[in-house]
Structure 1
Amino acid sequence: MNRDPSHASAGTDHDSDAGAEPRLIDHLIELRARLLRAVVGLLAVFLVLMPFSAQIYGLLAAPLLANLPATGQLVANDPAGGFFVPIKLAFFAALLISVPWLLYQAWAFVAPGLYHREKRLAVPLLVSAVALFYIGCAFAFFLVLPSVFGFLARFTPDVVAMMPDIGKYLDFVLVIFLAFGASFELPVALVILVLLGWVTPQQLRDSRGYAVVGVFVIAAIITPPDVVSQLMLAIPMCLLYEVGIIAARWLVPQKAESDATP
């Protein structure tokens, strides 16, 4: 007895759907486990840092206090600010410290579905992205903040007592950290654009003048309204743009670049 082809096709589709559903459930279970591990790791670091939140805030306030008069100090306009602001800082510090762990959980989830070449390229990019973000934050803390506060203190009238609010100071520093940390990711972003085929290293070199103008515009927007912080962000970004071009040329074969160039 001949079997109806339509029935055979329907049976094949049914088997395929039945096999896809358990795989989807397995992926969701794996995703839930990775998210749970990420959250547990973040909370563990936060709980470790929370007893030292006041000391961490004192360390963060050192660049400002070093440029205040002997009688200068930070104040808490909110009655509960002296308690909640250091805890807020402890959470963000825990988040910053936990970035490698969080990225590892994300990598462990997506890595099984990647090809060998994709894994070989993704690992250096992830490591470089984390390292550059930390370098950007360190650059902001050790060089930018002391220079900015020194510049602002010199131009503050003597009749004005500088007593910044601890909450506003924390928000200001976090914005600076985020701005410099994200800006230092420029080489990784350029390499990714080249790997995706959206631009070539030659196009990046040809657009160097426009990139410099754009860098200075971005620096003027995301930094405080002083020329010191703008220059201290714009100049490293220009150098990192060149680093991104060099890295992209090293990763992309010259033949592929010449073929992609019109």
Structure 2
Amino acid sequence: MSEPNPDRDQEMPLVSHLAELRTRLLRCVAAIFLIFAGLFYFAQDIYTLVSAPLRQYLPEGATMIATDVASPFLTPFKLTMVVALFLAMPVILHQIWGFIAPGLYKHERRIAIPLLVSSILLFYAGMAFAYFLVFPIIFHFFASVTPEGVSMMTDISSYLDFVMTLFFAFGVAFEIPVAVVLLIWIGVVDVAYLRKIRPYVIIGCFVVGMVLTPPDIFSQTLLAVPMWLLFELGILAGSLIRKRRGEQDGEDQAEDDHSGDQPPAPLP
């Protein structure tokens, strides 16, 4: 039987919960603001770095353009704010963990901490995968299919919206192992069922790759194969967690049976 968390048994008033939630939200906002303040001076350099995968495939003499009056300022500003949010994710997750941890049992804490850490690492890995591998392929393809007589001169705001969408899509796609482990852990699905639907998952990965990448088999495979491997990694991790949880439940049951075999204490 799982050990109850002493803190969980002590119910906090609603006002105390709301006050703690407000404090942790303010800490998250403060962390984002401080990181943004430190990066704002480098906003133009950050945009230059993010736009590098496209600029290297622009035709000779072509440049990116700004069609709105305020775009040269607002676009790097928005990008820096998003970067600050991404960099502040460890602090945000720490605050979320501090808020929900008192309501968890001991065995729930043991699985929740690795899931929180792995989720942010996988999200960063997905963004890095998109920037270093997918972006060059996509922009090279777009540049190669530009019609004759058309100059490829991308608006900086449109480019930012496009890459932010891909960053988020790949970051979420790389969360597949965490999602699989959670589904197995809470009992929504079991490992045998996930293995049974593996062919449909593989097809789904290629469909997602077809939607998010240019219409060529190489770039689609470049996204679909990692998604499938991450799915398999989630199944493996989920199997280990379920096995360990089963062993723990067996030990707890054995302890309960042993305690039940003890003779009752003599009456005074």
Which residue does 1:162 correspond to in 2? Answer: 152
Which residue does 1:41 correspond to in 2? Answer: 31
Does residue 250 of structure 1 match 2:237? no
Does residue 226 of structure 1 match 2:226? no
Which residue does 1:26 correspond to in 2? Answer: 16
Which is further off, 227-236 or 138-147?
Answer: 227-236
Aligned residues: 237
Structure 2 Cα separation of the partners of residues 255 and 114 of structure 1? 16
Letter in 1 for 2:97: W
- Out of 216, 235, 239, the position equivalent to 2:225 is 235
Structure 1 length-normalised TM: 0.86
Structure 2 Cα separation of the partners of residues 158 and 62 of structure 1? 24
Structure 2 Cα separation of the partners of residues 226 and 71 of structure 1? 28
Structure 1 Cα separation of the partners of residues 29 and 14 of structure 2? 23
Structure 2 Cα separation of the partners of residues 136 and 229 of structure 1? 15
Letter in 1 for 2:79: L
Structure 2 Cα separation of the partners of residues 72 and 180 of structure 1? 29
Matches within 5 A, 1:3-22: none
**Structure 2 stretches of 5 or more lacking a match?**
1-9, 248-268
Which residue does 1:99 correspond to in 2? Answer: 89
Which residue does 1:76 correspond to in 2? Answer: 66
Letter in 2 for 1:148: I
- Contact conserved, 2:141 with 2:214, CA < 8 A, in 1? no
- Out of 176, 185, 199, the position equivalent to 2:175 is 185
Does residue 135 of structure 1 match 2:125? yes
Does residue 117 of structure 1 match 2:107? yes
Letter in 2 for 1:125: L
Structure 2 Cα separation of the partners of residues 209 and 243 of structure 1? 16
Per-residue deviation at 1:107?
A: 0.7
Which residue does 2:138 correspond to in 1? Answer: 148
Letter in 2 for 1:226: P
- The two structures, once aligned, show a CA RMSD in angstroms of 1.8
Aligned partner of residue 163 in structure 1, secondary structure:
coil
Aligned partner of residue 13 in structure 2, secondary structure:
helix
- Out of 51, 70, 75, the position equivalent to 1:61 is 51
Per-residue deviation at 1:176?
A: 0.5
Structure 2 Cα separation of the partners of residues 236 and 60 of structure 1? 23
Per-residue deviation at 1:217?
A: 2.0
Per-residue deviation at 1:142?
A: 0.4
- Contact conserved, 2:138 with 2:214, CA < 8 A, in 1? no
Per-residue deviation at 1:158?
A: 4.0
Residues 4-25 of structure 1, C-alpha deviations (whole Å, 9 max, x = no match): xxxxxxxxxxxxxxx97x7222
Per-residue deviation at 1:117?
A: 0.7
**Percent same amino acid at aligned positions?**
46
**Structure 1 stretches of 5 or more lacking a match?**
1-18, 258-262
Residues 86-115 of structure 1, C-alpha deviations (whole Å, 9 max, x = no match): 000000000111111111111111111111
Per-residue deviation at 1:134?
A: 0.2
Aligned partner of residue 252 in structure 1, secondary structure:
helix
